Structure 1
Amino acid sequence: MPSCPCGSQQPYGDCCQPFHLDRMPAPDPETLMRSRYSAFVLELPDYLLATWHPDTRPATLTLEQSPDWVSLQMLSSGEQGDRGQVHFRAVYRMPDGFGYLEETSDFVCEDDCWFYLRGDTREGRLDPGRNDRCPCGSGKKFKACCRI
């Protein structure tokens, strides 16, 4: 069974897939963010819309122009009562290197179910050195992995 795209090192079937199959709601904002990242990777727009708060959810969502996501880094997360926040960096492959989307996301819990509310994002380009860890999340040095 392949590893989950969210980077947990768990099999997908034991990690984000149960949320994607609507077997249970995510228990906290970080888990919801991980499952939403995996849904972007696996192109599951219905799940993304279902976990987006109705007050801020778009009417439709297409993932046709979505980048080639390669790794997720959780920078911080927390919750206080029915509010939560997650700061993450998602890395994607570009034709000539790697880019990233960094976001601080707000979440709200209603009726024991967490929803994505909104996020403040910024994007940039990654320029790893040959001896840096590869941005793809493999754990290998860049020079021995995805060096472009």
Structure 2
Amino acid sequence: MKKKPVPCPCGRPARLDLCCGPIIEGRQAAPTPEALMRSRYTAFATGARDYLLESWHASTRPDALDLDDNPRWIGLTVVRAEETTDERATVEFIARYRIGGKAHVLHEVSRFLREDGRWFYLDGDILSD
């Protein structure tokens, strides 16, 4: 019996294996900061801890990442994405999630840095609505 394709959690109308999956698995680099941010959202949703750490810039990367209390991620909206220079970019997004059945929102402006042709998550500012 053929497995049903899994939709990508990032919100694009594509299957996980054709969207963020190849980026998370290291078969391709994220071509844009937005693609990196979407793949990181997907990694949080699927528990891909190693990828989250690998895609975090070394200057701000934590030593470890505990996803044991990871919420159930339920939606992503990209508000804006812009490359401010050839090596720097920002992506503003709204991520929706549930903890214990209660809905929450994370609204963040994330900063990205390109190093040796590859985009990395640097840090972000959480915005209050």
TM-score by length of 1: 0.80
Distance (Å, rounded) in 2 between the aligned partners of 1:123 and 1:60: 27
- For 1:19 and 1:94, how far apart are their aligned partners in 2? 27
Question: Which 5+ residue runs of structure 1 have no aligned equivalent?
Answer: 125-148
1:66-121 CA-partner distances (Å, limit 9, x unpaired): 21110001000011211010000000123353110110000000001000000001
Q: Out of 49, 53, 56, which is 2:57 matched to?
A: 53
Supply the distance in 2 between the matched residues of 1:75 and 1:33 (Cα, whole angstroms). 12
Calculate percent identity across the aligned residue pairs: 43
1:103 matches 2:108: yes
**Equivalent residue for 2:71?**
67
1:47-75 deviations in Å (ceiling 9; x for gaps): 00000000000001110112111000100
Asked if the contact 1:99/1:123 (under 8 Å) is kept, the reply is no
For residue 104 of structure 1, give the secondary structure of its aligned residue in structure 2.
strand
| 1:2-41 paired onto structure 2 within 5 Å | 2-41=6-45
Q: Which runs of 4+ in 1 moved over 6 A?
A: none
Report the secondary structure of 1:105's partner residue.
Answer: strand
Q: Please give the root-mean-square deviation of Cα atoms over the aligned residues, in Å.
A: 1.2
Distance 2:82 2:34 in 1: 8
Normalised TM-score (structure 2): 0.92
